[in-house]
Amino acid sequence: MPLRRGRPPTAGLTAQRRDQILSAAMDMFAVRGYDGTSAAQLAEHAGMGMGTLYRYFGSKREILDQVVDRCVGELREALECRSVLRPPDSPAGLVERIRDLSEVLFGMAGTAPRTLRLLLVEANALEDERGCRLMRGQNELAAIVAGLLDHGIEDGWLRRDLDTSALSQAIIALTWPGLLRGVSGGHLTVDPDRYTAAVVGLVTFGLRAPTRVPEPAR
């Protein structure tokens, strides 16, 4: 049997190379933007040739999709640490979750600005096959809020006529300008308490299920 030539395959090499590329992409996309980063620049930053880069990913768009997945995972880990994803059991619990969500997001502007910028800017630059913006970063956050609202409706302490999809988008939209200003300037230049108070004010206004008035005795 003829001997095989060349170096034996390194265990876990595929995972290492993919992680190497994704880490480089997070650096480049956060600084230069997805459109401003060429595949050649990405390969150079990752310390490899173009052929090696395309051996592990089929396209630059596929790399961005994986980068966004990683950022969403980091965001969910941060939210889980504050129990934001735990279903609330009362209007007060819902307000607490929304407050914690806002505080986590503004906190990431200081502790994880790269991740937050990728979620706020680059994830929203994704387009489907028809050229329509997917707004994935904003939709991921809105889906978390919608889940909290849906739970309140199911439990009966939120109004059943609420459009949780539209309301969750409105809640996230309140924080969006402040977060964008924070990541665009390289440091947080807004008062996070102000935006958090606005979000909490929206959540607490008119969300409770209507109080049932007992029917008069006959």
- Same domain? For 168 and 127 the reply is yes
Alpha helices (H) in the chain, listed in sequence order: 13-32, 39-46, 50-56, 60-81, 91-111, 113-117, 136-155, 164-184, 192-204
User: How many structural domains are present in the chain?
Assistant: 2
- Same domain? For 171 and 121 the reply is yes
- Same domain? For 46 and 74 the reply is no
CA distances from 165 to 86, 148, 150, 159, 169 (A): 19, 11, 9, 14, 6
Please report the pLDDT score of residue 135 as a whole number.
86
**Rounded Cα distance, 86 and 147, in Å:** 10
Average pLDDT over residues 89-110: 90
For the chain, percent of residues with pLDDT exceeding 90: 53
Average pLDDT over residues 70-89: 94
- Only one residue has tokens 């302490």, namely 157
Average pLDDT over residues 148-176: 90
CATH number of the domain that residue 194 is part of: 1.10.357.10
Structural domain that includes position 194: 59-204
- Same domain? For 82 and 182 the reply is yes
Q: How confident is the model at residue 194 (pLDDT cuts 50, 70, 90)?
A: confident
Average pLDDT over residues 142-155: 94
- Same domain? For 162 and 85 the reply is yes
Alpha helices (H) in 156-190, listed in sequence order: 164-184
Average pLDDT over residues 77-82: 94
**Virtual torsion, Cα 33, 35, 41, 42, nearest 10 deg:** 70
Tokens encoding 188: 């947080």
- Same domain? For 120 and 38 the reply is no
pTM above 0.85, yes or no: no
Phi, psi of 158 (to 5 degrees): -125, 150
Flag whether 4 is in a domain.
no
Please report the pLDDT score of residue 2 as a whole number.
52
3-17, pLDDT tens digit by residue?
555 455 565 889 999
